[in-house]
């Protein structure tokens, strides 16, 4: 491979770069094209023509955290290839103030620029992979030394699968925040606070939705960025609910609506496959204890929550026990028998649909809209990555407020940025999905992020589903939950002691 000649140049770089282009013209008089690229705007200048680099920089749009500019001059014959790649990065860009960094030259037949390949793992829904896939080409154009690939795994694997196993194969992973305890204890990922300046960390923290930022922090470190924000919210078919009035605001109104729609041969929905059954239990326990993190460990609270959930399940569509939120929403779009769903993780894609039917979303029917289980997704960098700097920069780009409220949501994503949730354009294009559920997000419940919680959740979920659907007595469930949680905590303490 041809070695790279690397030169760092300061404010005199415009002159130096112009001289380099002129030299290439002299060496290749038959053909020369200078491509001046400014964030997608390209101007072609023929041989012998100069260019004003400062003007190009000054006229470019000034965005937030970081700008990336590229100027490339290519001169080529059948036997000779020469390229100059100029990278420009800075936080602000005003008038004559600019920096020139990293001028690379390649001067040999067939020479190539060494490329860094980043591999990322998403979960398999457009809400997740849509904005990630959409970012690959534009980010790659701004960073020609990078190649980015995103793979996908199931929603179950995202939330409950083995995390450590995939970190040896991927630089970036989208994951659920309950893994944070294991990540921090075993140092599975690279903390962002070692790569982001304190003032930028504060900006990210202030821009969080609910406790999303907090959910990826542990042991004084920030192990991931909240790229996606979600919690359990209410949803409904607006054309069907219109016959019954506004969405219910409390549990009593919810029961009344459920009974009314049953009289008309319709149903409420209550997604309750084991994973979502466990989420429902955590939500109802949080609501009964004022968002006590460990409310689910109180037997009386659990028994009361199961009683309420059984009451709702009896009025819910018979297929509810086979549904996760996605299956439920797909059914609501394709059929006319489910009017309203009180608790399920929100998906902006069903509100923003441009063809066919769409769903509307609302705050949960609970006092102060509090207690809904927090979900969402974080983006983290594997501790085994050989390209930490590049992976970190890409993750920060994807999570930045400017990107989140524009390209991220436009590609079907559900941003983790509060400014995106409050953005007027974003809400106009998603039928107010974010505005209409924000109160619930801000009052949502953050489950424990202790080491071992994922194992507890995974083992407890099938038992909770059985209890909700009458296949296990509530007191038996309490005994199982107590035993499983004690075992998880015991494993956690032994793991911490061994480190």
Does the pLDDT value for residue 25 go beyond 60?
no
**This prediction's pTM:** 0.78
Please, what is the end-to-end C-alpha distance for the chain in angstroms?
43
Confidence of residue 205 (pLDDT cuts 50, 70, 90): very high
- What mean pLDDT is reported for the chain? 81
pLDDT digits (tens, 9 = 90+) for 370-402: 999 999 999 999 999 999 999 999 999 999 999
pLDDT reported for residue 354: 83
Calculate the alpha carbon distances from 450 to 183, 218, 372, 417, 453 in Å.
10, 9, 19, 25, 6
Question: Rounded CA gap, 87 and 38, in Å?
Answer: 11
Calculate the alpha carbon distances from 136 to 85, 139, 149, 390 in Å.
20, 5, 8, 13
Nearest Cα to Cα of residue 71 among 58, 59, 88, 55: 88
Domain boundaries, the chain: 5-107, 116-229+375-429, 232-374+448-498
Residue predicted with more confidence, 372 or 65:
372
Residue predicted with more confidence, 39 or 124:
124
pLDDT reported for residue 113: 59
**Pair 234, 247: CB distance under 8 Å:** yes
Does the pLDDT value for residue 120 go beyond 70?
yes
Lowest-confidence segment of 73-82, 136-145, 408-417, 420-429 by average pLDDT = 73-82
What homologous superfamily does CATH list for 232-374+448-498? Periplasmic binding protein-like II (3.40.190.10)
Lowest-confidence segment of 46-55, 258-267, 302-311, 475-484 by average pLDDT = 46-55
pLDDT digits (tens, 9 = 90+) for 217-239: 999 999 999 999 999 999 999 99
Question: In which residue are the tokens 């038959």 written?
Answer: 30
Confidence of residue 117 (pLDDT cuts 50, 70, 90): very high
> Token pair for residue 49?
């023509």
- The residue-averaged pLDDT of 127-141 equals 96
pLDDT reported for residue 51: 38
Question: In which residue are the tokens 């023509």 written?
Answer: 49
Residue 424 C-beta-side C-alpha neighbours within 13 Å? 0
Nearest Cα to Cα of residue 280 among 349, 371, 190: 371
The CATH T-level fold of domain 116-229+375-429 is D-Maltodextrin-Binding Protein; domain 2 (3.40.190)
Fold equal for 116-229+375-429 and 232-374+448-498 = yes
Does the pLDDT value for residue 182 go beyond 70?
yes
Question: Rounded CA gap, 452 and 337, in Å?
Answer: 40
Residue predicted with more confidence, 320 or 106:
320
Question: Rounded CA gap, 284 and 298, in Å?
Answer: 12
Highest mean pLDDT (candidates 25-29, 57-61, 359-363): 359-363
pLDDT digits (tens, 9 = 90+) for 249-305: 999 999 999 999 999 999 999 999 999 999 999 999 999 999 999 999 999 999 999
Handedness of CA 117, 120, 124, 128 (dihedral sign): negative
pLDDT reported for residue 489: 83
């Amino acid at each position: 491979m041809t070695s790279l000649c690397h030169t760092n140049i300061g404010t005199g770089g415009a002159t130096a770069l112009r001289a380099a282009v002129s030299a290439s013209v002299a060496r290749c008089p038959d053909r020369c094209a200078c491509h001046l690229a400014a964030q997608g705007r390209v101007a072609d200048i023929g041989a012998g023509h100069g260019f004003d680099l400062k003007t190009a920089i000054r006229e470019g749009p000034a965005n937030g955290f970081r700008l990336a500019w590229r100027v490339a001059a290519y001169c080529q014959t059948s036997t000779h290839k020469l390229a100059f790649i100029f990278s420009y990065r800075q936080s602000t860009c005003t008038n004559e103030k600019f920096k020139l960094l990293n001028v690379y030259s390649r001067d040999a037949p067939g020479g190539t620029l060494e490329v860094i390949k980043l591999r990322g793992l998403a979960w398999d829904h457009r809400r997740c992979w849509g904005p990630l896939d959409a970012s690959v080409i534009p980010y790659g154009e701004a960073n020609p030394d990078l190649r980015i690939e995103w793979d996908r795994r199931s929603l179950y694997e995202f939330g409950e699968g083995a995390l450590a196993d995939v970190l040896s194969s991927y630089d970036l992973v989208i994951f659920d925040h309950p893994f944070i305890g294991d990540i921090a204890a075993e140092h599975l990922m690279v903390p962002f606070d070692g790569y982001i300046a304190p003032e930028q960390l504060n900006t990210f923290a202030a821009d969080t939705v609910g406790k999303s930022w907090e959910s990826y922090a542990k042991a004084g470190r920030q192990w991931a960025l909240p790229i996606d924000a979600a919690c359990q919210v209410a949803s409904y078919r607006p054309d069907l609910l219109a016959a019954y009035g506004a969405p219910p605001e409390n549990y009593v109104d919810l029961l009344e609506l459920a009974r009314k729609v049953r009289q008309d041969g319709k149903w409420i929905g209550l997604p309750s496959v084991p994973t979502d059954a466990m989420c429902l239990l955590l939500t109802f326990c949080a609501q009964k204890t004022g968002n006590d993190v460990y409310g689910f460990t109180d037997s009386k609270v659990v028994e009361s929550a199961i009683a309420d959930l059984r009451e709702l399940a009896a009025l819910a569509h018979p297929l509810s026990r086979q549904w996760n939120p996605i299956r439920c929403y797909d059914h609501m779009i394709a059929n006319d028998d489910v009017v309203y769903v009180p608790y399920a993780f929100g998906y902006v894609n069903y509100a923003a649909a441009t063809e066919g039917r769409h769903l509307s979303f609302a705050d949960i029917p609970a006092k102060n809209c509090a207690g809904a289980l927090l979900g969402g997704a974080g983006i983290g960098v594997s501790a085994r990555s050989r390209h930490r700097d590049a992976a970190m920069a890409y993750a920060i780009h994807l999570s930045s407020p400017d990107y989140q409220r524009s390209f991220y949501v436009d590609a079907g994503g559900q941003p983790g940025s509060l400014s995106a949730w409050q953005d007027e354009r974003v809400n106009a294009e998603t039928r107010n999905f974010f505005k209409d559920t924000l109160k619930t997000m801000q009052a949502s419940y953050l489950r424990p992020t202790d080491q071992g919680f994922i194992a507890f959740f995974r083992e407890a979920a099938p038992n909770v589903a059985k209890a909700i659907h009458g296949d296990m007595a509530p007191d038996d469930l309490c005994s199982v939950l107590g035993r499983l949680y004690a075992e998880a905590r015991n494993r956690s303490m032994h793991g911490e002691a061994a480190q």
